[in-house]
Amino acid sequence: MPGLQYFSFTELWSPLFLALLLLLTAGYFVLIGPLASRFEGSTAVPFWRRGLFLCGMLALYLAQGGPVSLLGHILFSFHMVSMALSYLVAVPLIMLGIPDWCWRALLRVNPLKGLAFLAKPVVAALLFNGLFSLYHIPAIHDYVMLHFTVHRLYYGVLFLTSALMWWNLINPLPEYRALSGLGQVGFIFLNMVLLTPACGLIIFASSPLYATYSDPGTWAKAMGYCVPQSPAALLQAFGGPGFFGSLSPKVDQQVGGIVMKFIQEFIFASMLAYVFYHWYKKENGQEDTDVSASPSALAEEV
């Protein structure tokens, strides 16, 4: 995109965030390698599972640390790409990369047992989709984008509630499984429906909703958390977000809403087809085991 050449390597690629993710990735390989023998029931982690974890961390880096993250502060359409990569792609891939014996050890931690109700299907769906929709109310979105600590906290909570939502679909532990077959089909439909109002508001709004992407002064203040330049210097150099794209704020906003809804529909429709197929086979006696209970079995078949 025009203008990105004016940003430094650090601003574009966030090396500190990359270092953090590399450290977490190294910890993952130490956990499933040298430390695995300390866990009850531990087994060798197959390459496909390791690959899913790495893909998830890569998606998270691209969304929150790479150029997509910077562009997400410039154009609303890239903001929505960042959100989709973070919570609809990275989270399930990272979760699928964690072996079942790690999950069992984690869920034995006493404080987590008291929070088990948050993972109940309806609660988890309402939490994630509710917080996502709340975030995209214009006044709240602009406030979060202009306050760095609130921004990081809110994104962290969205990450956790996304994991709770995905747990009901890719949970590999039968003893913790609340849904299977038709229940998962209904849960997928519920999530598809809950996100629709927020995307509809964004797509069909008659004017730009977010000052962060339409008002140069507000945009420059929000950009201050990505680049070390002052708002005044940013305005003098670029004039506003319009410098970086040919789309008007309204069209950029509409594109963002469409992109988010399309990615969500594609991911959940794919899972819906998989779950329904195996549920149908099981109901007709064509499967001996309840593989439909967790779409994570899909990766096992590869």
Instruction: Place 3 in a pLDDT band, splitting at 50, 70 and 90.
Output: low
Nearest-angstrom CA–CA distance, 133 and 143: 15
Quick: pLDDT tens for 247-283: 899 999 999 999 999 999 999 998 888 787 777 777 7
Task: Report helix, strand and coil shares of the chain as percent, to nearest 5.
Answer: 75, 0, 25
Helical H segments across 35-120, by residue range? 47-64, 67-71, 76-84, 91-96, 100-107, 110-113
> For residues 127 and 193, is the Cβ–Cβ distance under 8 A?
no
Nearest-angstrom CA–CA distance, 220 and 4: 15
Among residues 252, 300, 258, the alpha carbon closest in space to that of 99 is found at 300
Nearest-angstrom CA–CA distance, 295 and 92: 11
Sign, CA dihedral 133-135-136-137, equals: positive
Structure tokens at 147: 């306050």
Nearest-angstrom CA–CA distance, 144 and 150: 6
Structure tokens at 66: 């790479």
Q: What is the pLDDT of residue 291?
A: 40
Quick: pLDDT tens for 45-93: 999 999 999 999 999 999 999 889 999 999 999 999 999 999 999 999 9
Nearest-angstrom CA–CA distance, 30 and 227: 34
Determine if residue 53 is left, alpha or beta; phi over 0 gives left, psi from -120 to 50 gives alpha, anything else beta.
alpha
Nearest-angstrom CA–CA distance, 259 and 202: 11
Nearest-angstrom CA–CA distance, 125 and 122: 5
Quick: pLDDT tens for 183-242: 888 999 999 999 999 999 999 999 999 999 999 999 999 998 788 888 888 888 888 888
Structure tokens at 192: 């598809």
